[in-house]
């Protein structure tokens, strides 16, 4: 099985979402030969840092640096930043900022992402489900942007979600509590679950912990990591795309209920957390997609903030 000649565009709201929700999926796609393009809507600049910043370094700059490291671990070949401001949690002042993703022209952003997908000949788009996974305004916004881009391109679409029956230690539970909302979907509404072997799980662990400003490694103990993060869940709409071509036997740890058709993608067993080497230096991987009213999208190197 190979995916050479296929291009997958994954759209996410904040740095670390790519690793938490799609780390195994992106790594497996890359390993199968697909070109993986990661589009990040915001730099997560409203978050604080749990580790000291370097002199003159902003939270946004630190998070982009961490994102570049994560993207390298996951096999991303092109990283594009939409450059919108983090909107913050529901009901907070950040959602009203003129640069915030939630207050942006999402139709214009959807068109720009569609243009990027077309330029890349992307046959598959990955983006958040209509509930924004856990209700964060930026995740809801990326759903709308991704859905429009998928409509404009006709690409296969896989909407990121989580199974509400997931293990209690998953980071999305804390995020949903902060957003004062629910998360995910019941198993019968999930179309597809992707899992991986110990190497994929180790890469996912390394990619999540690359976001050291946001994630305490102590919250990801090796003994519990596989049970908590071995599956990544999607709702599928439109034609079958690259994720379907990763198909393998249904994993024992994911037993969906209900009558809807499922596809589980599986290669292995338990996680052995270890050093996951990266080929090349991912620093400077990111490009910025400039989006402004009346402005034709261009790509430019990201400058330190």
Average pLDDT, the chain: 82
What share of the chain has pLDDT > 70, as a percent? Answer: 79
pLDDT at 201: 95
Give the confidence band of 218 by pLDDT, cuts at 50, 70, 90: very high
Picking from 234, 230, 231, 253, the residue whose alpha carbon sits closest to that of residue 161 is 234
Domain regions of the chain by residue span: 7-294
Looking at the predicted structure, is the pLDDT value of residue 255 above 70?
Answer: no
For the domain made up of 7-294, give the CATH fold: Rossmann fold (3.40.50)
On the CB side of 47, CA atoms within 13 Å amount to 24
Contact 263, 235 (CB under 8 A): no
The residue with tokens 């978050």 is: 47
List, as one string, the DSSP characters of the chain.
Answer: ---TT-EEEEEESSTTHHHHHHHHHHHHHHHTT-EEEEEEEE--TTS--SSPPPTT--HHHHHHHHHHHHHHHTT-SEEEEEEEBP--STTSGGGGSTTBGGGS-HHHHHHHHHHHHHHTT--EEEEE-TTHHHH-HHHHHHHHHHHHHHHHH--EEEEEE-BTTS-TT-HHHHHHHHTTS--SB-GGG--EEE---HHHHHHHHHHHHT-TTT--GGGS-HHHHHHHHS-EEEEEESS--TTGGG--PPPTT----SSS--EEE-------------SS--TT-EEEE---TT----EEEPPP-
Looking at the predicted structure, is the pLDDT value of residue 271 above 80?
Answer: no
pLDDT at 265: 42
Give the confidence band of 211 by pLDDT, cuts at 50, 70, 90: very high
286-289/299-301 β-pairing: antiparallel
Q: Find residue 11's DSSP bridge partners.
A: 39
Looking at the predicted structure, is the pLDDT value of residue 10 above 80?
Answer: yes
User: Stretch 219-238: mean pLDDT, rounded?
Assistant: 91
pLDDT at 289: 62
pLDDT at 178: 82
Looking at the predicted structure, is the pLDDT value of residue 79 above 50?
Answer: yes
Give the confidence band of 246 by pLDDT, cuts at 50, 70, 90: confident
What share of the chain has pLDDT > 90, as a percent? Answer: 65
Looking at the predicted structure, is the pLDDT value of residue 299 above 50?
Answer: no
pLDDT tens digits, 146-194: 999 999 999 999 999 999 988 788 999 988 888 878 899 999 999 999 9
């Amino acid at each position: 099985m190979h995916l050479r000649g296929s291009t997958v565009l994954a759209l996410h709201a904040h740095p670390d979402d790519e690793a938490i929700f799609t780390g195994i999926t992106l790594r497996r796609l890359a390993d199968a030969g697909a070109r993986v393009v990661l589009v990040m809507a915001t730099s997560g600049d409203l978050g604080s840092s749990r580790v000291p910043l370097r002199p003159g370094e902003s939270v946004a700059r630190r998070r982009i640096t961490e994102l570049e490291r994560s993207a390298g671990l996951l096999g991303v070949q092109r990283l594009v930043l939409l450059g919108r401001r983090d909107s913050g949690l529901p009901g907070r002042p950040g959602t009203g900022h003129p640069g915030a993703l939630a207050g942006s022209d999402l139709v214009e952003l959807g068109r720009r992402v569609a243009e990027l997908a077309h330029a890349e000949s992307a046959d598959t788009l990955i983006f958040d489900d209509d509930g924004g996974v856990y209700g964060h305004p930026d995740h809801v916004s990326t759903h709308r942007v991704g859905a429009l881009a998928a409509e404009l391109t006709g690409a296969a679409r896989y909407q990121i979600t989580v199974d509400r029956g997931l293990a209690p230690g998953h980071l999305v539970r804390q995020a949903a509590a902060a957003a004062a909302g629910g998360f995910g979907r019941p198993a019968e509404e999930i179309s597809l679950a992707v899992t991986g072997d110990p190497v994929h799980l180790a890469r996912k662990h390394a990619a999540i912990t690359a976001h050291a400003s946001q994630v305490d490694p102590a919250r990801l103990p090796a003994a519990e990591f596989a049970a908590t993060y071995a599956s990544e869940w999607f709702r599928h709409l439109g034609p079958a795309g690259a994720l379907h071509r990763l198909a393998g036997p249904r994993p024992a740890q994911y037993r969906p209920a209900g009558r809807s058709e499922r596809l589980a993608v599986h290669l292995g067993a338990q996680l052995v957390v270890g050093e996951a080497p990266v080929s090349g230096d991912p620093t400077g991987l990111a490009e910025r997609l400039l989006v402004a009213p009346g402005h034709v999208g261009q790509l430019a190197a990201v400058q330190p903030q």
